[in-house]
Amino acid sequence: MVKQRLLNTSNRCMVIFFLAFIASAIVAWGYEQYLSVMLLAVFHVLQIVFAALFKLAYVFRLVAQHQLGLTLR
């Protein structure tokens, strides 16, 4: 039960962090002429943070799959 919940939560988090990364990339690279340098730097840092959180969620997904005896993908 807990293992399946970890897998489901990890999958949802991966989607959320991926979408957040895409949104921050669009803002950082597509709207740079409308943002201050400070805000632009924040969105660039957010790209790194969201990528790291995505990778962390992927590791939790692998742990859950391993505990459930599923094939690691």
25 touches 44 (CB < 8 A): no
Give pLDDT, residue 1. Answer: 85
Other beta carbons less than 10 A from residue 26's beta carbon? 11
pLDDT in tens, 6-49: 999 999 999 999 999 999 999 999 999 999 999 999 999 999 99
Give pLDDT, residue 46. Answer: 98
Domains of the chain, by residue range, sit at: 1-68
Question: Cβ-count burial of 57 within 10 angstroms (0-12 exposed, 13-18 middle, 19+ buried)?
Answer: buried
Q: Which amino acid is at 64?
A: A
Q: Is 70 helix (H, G, I), strand (E, B) or coil?
A: coil
Question: Cβ-count burial of 65 within 10 angstroms (0-12 exposed, 13-18 middle, 19+ buried)?
Answer: middle
